[in-house]
Amino acid sequence: MLARAGQLAETEAAGSPANVRAHNMALRSIAAEIGGVLRSPDRTVQRRIGEAREIVEFYPAALSAWEHGFITRAHVTVIVDVGRVVPVDRRPEFEREAIDRSLNDTPNRVRAGLELYAEKLTEQSFTERHQDAARQRAVRLVPGRDGMCEVIATVPTVIGDGILDRLTRMAHAVQDADVAHEGMTPSVGTAGTDRRTADQIRADLFADLILAESPALDPTVHGDGAGALRAIRAQVQVTVSALTLLGDNENPADLVGRSPIDAGTARYLAGETSSWTRLLTNPVDGTTIAIDRYRPSLEQRRHLRARDLHCRFPGCRQAAIRCELDHTVDHALGGPTALTNLAHLCQRHHSMKQLTPWRVEQHAGGVLEWTSPTGRVYREDAPPHP
């Protein structure tokens, strides 16, 4: 209905004077009328009309899949958002691939791989678009209520991911040090004297680092020496092809848990890192076949990080570097410390596996089958690499 309203406005505007067409007066008028019926602001209705036309006119197959319940509204939103970089004549090809991926996974997981696929169809490279976008980086302040505000920094994704990672790891160090100071073991989960939440600690650390270059309250300080917080460095997890590293192409790399990053940034990070995992993938489906070395312990971790990429609970995209290695069959019950019995789970889903009726089995190729308390089974394949 909204798309038809937009098409009607376009038809009405065709015979209008140029200045009327230039200001979308026909569209504004129709949006205002629909807004009156829906009791919704006309600006909101006009935006929804634009979104509806984009879906109906460019993605009819996705609309049909949504109408028949094969995919959700959130999947359609991802398809439309990601597809904007794809030339119009290649959108049917993009749409078919997007629907296929949406049938088997959640919207947030579909987005990451679909963004990389869309880049193969674009006319302007991701690197060129990133360079243009990076010129718009800025910091701004949005006043809020009750004496609060939001400080918003528009920066490259890899920088933002690193900022959040460092603040999170510092916050965990503060919490652990506070609990240990009270004579308790951090893993017990009992709070010490610091009653702040992790979000509150992150916000306080952010302000301290910007204004004073160091945390005002650092429970890791002992005596007159510097605390351990300043030694914490950000970690990001990036998957990049060898050809991109060699400069043979400008294909974007995957910032795991977030979104693609430009090839130049990936090459820079590769040149600075001391931690590498070289992996061989299946050229057909992208799944991990092997890594460069294989020995227990450290190499097991490297292999599993390369295989899993992120938390292996259905729908979760928490990067593997921020997850825990879980024994699918508990070690206490005889489960071996082997690749076939290990998988990454974030803290939330690790705890859920331990403390709720959810159950999981691991099969060949790193396939996990999760069984919910109601008996439904969710298959979780090892993620393909871009």
pTM reported for the whole predicted model: 0.58
CA distance 334 to 337: 9
With H, G, I as helix, E, B as strand and everything else as coil, classify residue 330: coil
Which backbone phi and psi does 134 adopt, to 5 degrees?
-65, -25
Range from 21-30, 298-307, 363-372 that averages highest in pLDDT:
363-372
pLDDT of residue 188: 38
pLDDT of residue 181: 57
Those residues with Cβ within 8 angstroms of residue 312's Cβ, 6 or more apart along the chain or in another chain: 343, 344, 345, 368, 380
Q: Which amino acid is at 163?
A: I
Mean pLDDT across the stretch 349-358? 88
DSSP string, 260-313: EE-HHHHHHHHHH-S----EEE-TTT--EEEES---TTHHHHHHHHHHH-B--S
CA distance 164 to 282: 33
Q: Give the C-alpha distances (Å, rounded to integers) separating 336 from 18, 270, 313, 333, 351.
A: 74, 34, 20, 9, 20
Q: What is the mean pLDDT of the chain?
A: 83
CA distance 83 to 96: 12
DSSP string, 93-146: HHHHHHHHHHTTS-HHHHHHHHHHHHHTT-SS-HHHHHHHHHTT-EEEEEE-ST
Place of tokens 């990601």: 82
Handedness of CA 381, 382, 383, 386 (dihedral sign): negative
- Name the percent of the chain lying above pLDDT 90: 30
With H, G, I as helix, E, B as strand and everything else as coil, classify residue 161: helix
Mean pLDDT across the stretch 24-33? 85
Mean pLDDT across the stretch 342-356? 89
Contact 170, 232 (CB under 8 A): yes
CA distance 132 to 123: 15
- pLDDT band at residue 153 using 50, 70 and 90 as cut-offs: very high
